Structure 1
């Protein structure tokens, strides 16, 4: 009876492995099928390779490799696995075209292994181990999915062993109790029974010790798996794929706590038989396991934002993985409190001083208390903080070289819960991932760099929140690639050539070979403290600008591999040098934050060819004119490198936009991109000061619009009234007022006290967003030569004007939407007239324009002002 019970029990437990097999797929067999059969050995007459092929990935979903002994549990498991395999083959025979062959395999298995099922286990273990070694040698590593599946099988196997031994303990306790009862009824002393009873007590004590030891091992394995989950959660902050489902871990916690309860009950019922010493030892060990599970089961399910701005609401969720199990019998509600703690306080917490971390206030959190509640649908016990807000933060002392964006803190979640009949109190605490608190948006980029570095390179069991200052270049490549794919939401990551260009940039070394960088280490300073040579920004600030540009405007082009992207000018020249004229490619600007340029082969007047680089397109320009539209407009580019016609490459992007319904009061316009050619160079034009505007031919600048010193980019605006043909205008000798009109103004506010130093604060170490030493307006950067004004790129609404500390601006500077709708609604057009394109970047304190100002801008040609001695824009309409 006892043996048959265990057989049924083990067969029922094997159904768990069947559920895992149907819910997830192993990767080993699919890898084995890709390799030639002659690589594998270990098959036998009883278990040939053809049988292995029939079983496929089914064989990997059962715990063959964890049956290492020959005790009763291992023997029963082996026998049950043999029965499961026979049943599997019989199912295949009923649905296969070769049933006789499969049935023959079934008969051979029964004959060869039924008497020795452990022999079958050894055979299968040998086959699986050989396959795993060959696959690992061939593909250099095994998949993460396979490792995780093996870990799940191991825990399930250990849990089954614990539950099996619990059944043995119950059976021994029952026999011991029955024997004692018989002895008392007969009132006799049977020496033989006494000896047998002693043996049973000794076996019971040994079994208790073994089960407690295995329970402690299972707890350690569970906590390791929880640490892996936490580490994956941290890497998810950088974009790494992450399975955030805590339900499997909750089931593990509940199963081990259930074993603890059952063992404690058995110990309590055998006080006389076990003795006080053994009982005390076992009880203490069980309490340690239980207390460890209680404290570890309190985790941060949804992390607060790791870059946290004061006076901004945010959310977070903590979860008690044992709440649904332990709170069923109690009606008490428990509250969770959240507090901001510094790095020093976090260290005290980890060192074992849970109350010391709250002695000193670090910041003021609002709405920082939530109740632990169990969801009826998900069976999850959570405390949800929906509207937390950090009102202020108290900064700690920092090193002289550290900035506020390198200072890390965390949110500490705490709760006191009462459990058990004796109302034992437990203090459970969970620390969030590191957080950088900022007070202004211009700190966001540097704060993200701190978090990216910490998430990627934090060591296991570190002292909060210490992170290494140097990491291998290969690790940095993996981090940048994962961040890029996650931010852009694309499956196409960085390539080998991209890493080479990035290495040249971050190490400032254009002479090293690609393999030389693999042995180098990147420092935190190189990543986001040191300004790049001849630039006004760090490596991370430049890379993040590309992330933002690609995410918003270039995602589909990148995913379709239409953009080469991370490549130097020298490499571009090498690629295009042997290509016919009109061949082009895209590269990210390396001197401008958030820009992409078109490099193409163009003719020179002397008949030779050269590679030209068109002024980079920024987010501001691409927001009004898509990249495909720019490609369509520029007639000098025809073939995407190496040999793909642009009409074919961009066919799905060349979609004609439906004309918007024009207002009766305005004449509709169209904006087109044109590039001058060496054979038809654009004449030099004058700026508002009457000076000639000459493009800078030597450096790539965000306001330059040339192609290697000869070609320049311009916007051609066509006014269309009814069915009349479009009248394209391009100023001849006079540059129209463009969006970035600041590029030719000495002072927008008319205040002579404003100096270029206002744009850069050495103490802060950064420029306002979108500004740097190289892309300042000419009036604020003496070394800048203003180009043709009509060719300047668009600017963000807040990129230029809102960042300028210049006070009130002129009243006639409008947003792009206003500027593009200006026209002559009631008056006929007489000849060619120049109409100004107005600045889209209007600060919040800009004044509204008067009707007189509008009339001056719309009715008077700009050349009336172009020959003056250089008035400021403030006086243009006075």
Structure 2
């Protein structure tokens, strides 16, 4: 489609600008319309700017031919206005530009440039409209991406024209060869033959220069396109590197593959045309033949090699075949996968392509650096059939790495040897690529990986991967941890948020990030860009209040959220990274019973606690906090059920739930109701009642709670071995109190005694599911637990 047709489809304001442009121009608009394709195909810029006016004269005379042809076509029709404009424009340019054809070329160039500006402004206006009205989830093309697509289409059009011109040049050369071979020196018209032969040679020389100029222009445009494509590829690689450490998923490479393939096709077509021109020059040559010295074949091959080399990428970085979403950390003996791809989807029909994989091809000079073998195979072959159907993709699956044993022992602990989790390894890939006679060795590398031997090293290995991919300026620097740089908070903060986003689809808000910043840097008054954290402080140095490295504490909380708290974290019900003092400030002006969920700063295993506000009789506001719940507890009872059934013993041991409103003031059941377990339908035919575990804290009436004091529920660690054949009933460390016909309350007098004492007929297995009561001789039937709490357990007695 000619650009003129696109201009005719623009909105009315841009149509008016177009009419205004041609109302002031020598070129009538209807003449522009009928010569649209021819005008847009010419290189007016070169004709206007070249000091040599030969190209401008050529375009001038061709324009006269086009005008004459159009006039003759319409002479028999009734479009008198068009005939008039054609004839008048022809007379005008002959009168004005007969001796100044370069000025006429400048006129056309300026008109086309202004048309391009109008079209670009219309596209920007349309894009702005779509951004305001389309689904925000649908990504818009960037200006550079639009430019790439526009340039590809222009290059395709230029290539079609070049192919046609080379074909015409070949015909003209055949005419010259025929006239040269058939000339007769003794013929009476020999002078006329010599003149005609010279004119043909002049036409041939001029046509060769035109085709050569067109090919060089096309190569220059291809070079610009290649630069744009490589910029897009570099941006994709940067996004991939961040995505590996948890950033939002980067876009795929299908669009890049389409662009790279189109660009490479144009270059291969240009290579064919240049070779044809070289063949024509070998058949017919003369003094100062431009095809002998000015063919840009070497520059073309260099550009093609660069594009193909960069187009060979690692599409999916090495990752273990595990549900843990932590790529670039591999364990010896565990299977992993990695995928490479050639973005230029061009393959000879009978040429399979084989990719070879190796590890640490250029081993860094580091003492004690481990070496590995790749099992079971180090190659993968892609047949042309698979290449056509799926693309040039080599998917390595079920690979493993095995360490080569050396005399060095005590890896990671001996002085001078690198730590396992700070040792970086790189996978190398090579493929021998051939297409249309061009043969190249293409190479690419993975990002550095950390290879561990035990899964308890996974957390520290991931910290190393995180640090490297955030801060390394060289993605192949295997000596990075010999002197790791410090991390600015402006870089580290978003990366910590990515860790939560990658496993829960919700990152950290600004308040949570500020708490982490204060934990790492204290009350610093520096600008965020000046806050720098060392690798040792981040991953190795113990810090209060939990006396463990920051990353260890953070990663255990991340695991707790991913395993047990994912849904309520995603819905924003967990305040999270809030200190006790911050929690008091947030809650002190809220209604009594307002609570929030925050992560423990001291729990060694990663924990979450409930903190709520109470107003004393003396108007004193205090904060109550339950001892943190860890994975061990949450795998028995979900946090939502703990909140739902939590009990605090007040005067006369009357239980009440102090958790009434989720901060800032959402009723508890409104916030957590969607997560509550559905109640079982207790039918009469059920033999046993279903148990429920709840948490209860016991408050001493004569003690006043101070702010931030913990209420610590104790879970008795009951001995689960049955003891049979007792001669007499042992003294019990608890009392049984009857509540109703079917309920008994077990009141613990001495928890320590209960923990250490033998089991009685009232003890029961609490930690396994389903619950199996422990019986002694003479028991009439089992009991099942319905509630369990610190100090009190209520038993349901089934009816028999």
Residue pair 1:736, 1:836 contacting (<8 A) in 2 also: no
Partner of 2:155: 162
Other-structure match for 2:670: 648
Shift of 1:552: 1.7
SS of 1:195's partner is: helix
Deviation of 1:376 (Å): 7.0
Are residues 713 and 604 of structure 1, via their aligned partners in 2, closer, same or farther at CA, if it must alter by over 3 Å? farther
- Identify if the C-alpha distance between structure 1 residues 252 and 132 changes in structure 2 by more than 3 Å, giving closer, same or farther: closer
Shift of residue 408, structure 1, vs aligned partner: 0.8
- Asked if 1:619 is matched to 2:619, the reply is no
Measured against aligned partners, the alpha-carbon deviations of 1:260-308 in whole angstroms (never above 9, x if no partner) come to 2222222222225485875685222222223223333322222212110
- On the 8 A contact 1:667/1:824 being kept in 2, the answer is no
What is the CA distance between 1:726 and its match in structure 2? 3.3
Distance across 1 between alignment mates of 2:17 and 2:176: 54
Partner secondary structure for residue 304 of structure 1:
strand
Structure 1 vs Structure 2 CA RMSD: 4.9
How far the C-alpha of 1:603 sits from its partner, in A, is: 5.6
In structure 2, the partner of 1:457 is 471
Query: Contact 2:315/2:340 (CA < 8 Å) preserved in 1?
Result: yes
**Offset of residue 129 of structure 1:** 6.7
Displacement of 1:347 in angstroms is 10
1:823 aligns with 2:774: yes
Q: How far did 1:230 drift?
A: 2.1
What is the CA–CA distance in structure 2 between the aligned matches of 1:519 and 1:133, rounded to whole Å? Answer: 37
Listed as ranges, the matches of 1:576-615 within 5 Å are: 576-592=587-603, 593-602=605-614, 608-615=620-627
Instruction: Tell me, yes or no, if structure 1 residue 174 matches structure 2 residue 192.
Output: no
Which residue of 2 is the match for residue 264 of structure 1? 271
Residue 399 of structure 2 is aligned to residue 388 of structure 1: yes
CA gap 1:43/1:547 in 2 versus in 1, 3 angstroms: farther
Q: Which one of 500, 504, 507 corresponds to residue 493 of structure 1?
A: 507
Q: In structure 1, how many angstroms separate the alpha carbons of the residues matched to 2:292 and 2:277?
A: 11
Q: Return the offset for 1:381.
A: 2.3
Please, which of 421, 424, 428 is the counterpart of residue 405 of structure 1?
421
Q: From the superposition, tell whether residues 501 and 529 of structure 1 become closer, same or farther in structure 2 (CA, over 3 Å).
A: same
Distance in 2 (alpha carbons) for counterparts of 1:426 and 1:586:
60
1:433 aligned to 447, 471, 487, which one? 447
Indicate the residue corresponding to 1:90 in structure 2.
Answer: none
**1:573-628 deviations in whole A, cap 9, x for unaligned?**
11222234322111111112421111112366877441111100111111111111
For the 8 Å contact 2:208–2:290, the answer to whether it is kept is no
Match of 2:354 in 1: 335
Quick one: structure 1 residues 282 and 339, their matched pair in 2 at CA, closer, same or farther if it must change by over 3 Å? same
Quote the Cα distance in structure 1 between the aligned partners of 2:787 and 2:250: 55
Cα distance between partner residues in 2 of 1:74 and 1:232: 41
Does 1:732 pair with 2:749?
Answer: yes
Counterpart of 2:237?
230
Map of 1:81-100 to 2, 5 A cutoff? none
Offset, 1:321: 3.2
Correspondent of 2:248 among 220, 241, 244: 241
Match of 2:334 in 1: 312
Picking from 546, 549, 552, the partner of 2:560 is 549
| Equivalent-residue separation in structure 1 for 2:587 and 2:294 (angstroms) | 81
Aligned: 1:529 with 2:540? yes
Question: 1:153 is matched with which residue: 146, 150, 159?
Answer: 146
* Paired residues of 1:406 and 1:450 also in contact (CA < 8 A): yes
Partner of 2:382: 372
| CA-to-aligned-CA distance 1:148-168 (integer Å, 9 cap, x gap) | 532222122222232222233
TM-superposed deviation, 1:724: 5.3
Take 2:687 and 2:127, find their aligned partners in 1: how far apart are those partners?
75
> Partners of 2:600 and 2:540 in 1: how far apart?
20
Segment of structure 1 superposing worse, 275-284 or 307-316: 275-284
Question: Is structure 2 residue 576 aligned with structure 1 residue 565?
Answer: yes
User: What is the TM-score when the length of structure 1 is the normalising length?
Assistant: 0.62
Per the TM alignment, residue 200 of structure 1 is displaced from its structure 2 partner at its CA by 1.8
* Whole-Å separation in 2 of the counterparts to 1:382 and 1:346: 29
CA shift in 2, pair 1:340/1:832, >3 Å: closer
Deviations 1:518-539 (A, max 9, x none): 5322332232132223433211
Single out whichever of 127-136 and 219-228 deviates more from structure 2.
127-136
Q: Identify if the C-alpha distance between structure 1 residues 192 and 210 changes in structure 2 by more than 3 Å, giving closer, same or farther.
A: same
Q: 1:420 to 1:262 in 2, by over 3 A?
A: closer
State the partner residue of 2:176. Answer: 183
Contact 1:267 1:279 in 2 (8 A): no
**d(CA) in 2 for partners of 1:818 and 1:377?**
54
Q: Partner of 1:300: helix, strand, or coil?
A: strand
Q: Please tell me whether the aligned partners of residues 408 and 434 of structure 1 are also in contact (alpha carbons under 8 angstroms).
A: yes
Offset at residue 562 of structure 1 (A)? 1.7
Pair 264,580 (structure 1): closer, same or farther in 2 beyond 3 Å: closer
Distance 1:74 1:460, change over 3 A: farther
Which secondary structure does the structure 2 equivalent of 1:672 belong to? coil
Unaligned runs of 5+ in 1: 1-6, 19-28, 30-41, 49-68, 76-112, 349-359, 683-696, 699-706, 745-811, 838-878
Q: Check conservation: 1:671, 1:715, Cα contact below 8 A.
A: no
CA contact (8 A) 1:677 1:710 kept: no
* C-alpha distance 172-383 of structure 1, shift in aligned 2 (>3 A): closer
- 2:316 corresponds to which of 273, 282, 302: 302
Larger radius of gyration: 2
Distance 1:74 1:481, change over 3 A: farther
Query: Aligned with 1:319: secondary structure?
Result: strand
* C-alpha displacement of 1:572: 0.8
CA separation of 1:392 and 1:654: change in aligned 2, threshold 3 A? same
Corresponding residue for residue 632 of structure 1: 644
- Which of 363, 370, 374 is equivalent to 2:372? 363
Shift of 1:429: 2.2
* Aligned with 1:478 (options 494, 502, 513): 494
Using the TM superposition, name which of 303-312 and 399-408 deviates more.
399-408
- Distance in 2 separating the partners of 1:204 and 1:670: 87
Q: Tell me, yes or no, if the aligned pair for 1:668 and 1:720 is still in contact at 8 Å.
A: no
Asked whether the 8 Å contact 2:347–2:434 carries over to 1, the reply is no
Between the aligned partners of 2:634 and 2:487, the Cα distance in structure 1 is 36
SS in 2 for 1:312: coil
Q: Say whether the 8 Å CA contact 1:295–1:428 is kept in structure 2.
A: yes
Q: Secondary structure at the match of 1:817?
A: coil
Q: CA deviation at 1:47?
A: 5.9
**Unaligned residue ranges in structure 2 (runs of 5+):** 19-38, 46-107, 184-192, 320-327, 647-656, 719-734, 758-762, 789-800
Q: For residue 637 of structure 1, give the secondary structure of its aligned residue in structure 2.
A: coil
Report what 2:300 is aligned to.
286
Tell me the SS of whatever aligns to 2:511: helix
The answer as to whether partners of 1:667 and 1:821 remain within 8 angstroms in 2 is no
- Write the deviation string for residues 63-89 of structure 1: whole angstroms up to 9, x where unpaired: xxxxxx9873799xxxxxxxxxxxxxx
CA distance in 1, matches of 2:291, 2:237: 39
Contact residue 604 and residue 679 of structure 1 kept, 8 A: no
Q: TM-score, normalised by structure 2?
A: 0.68
- Alignment correspondent of 1:779: none
CA contact (8 A) 1:303 1:316 kept: yes
Residues 447, 475 of structure 2: 8 Å contact kept: no
Deviation at 1:566, TM superposition (A): 1.0
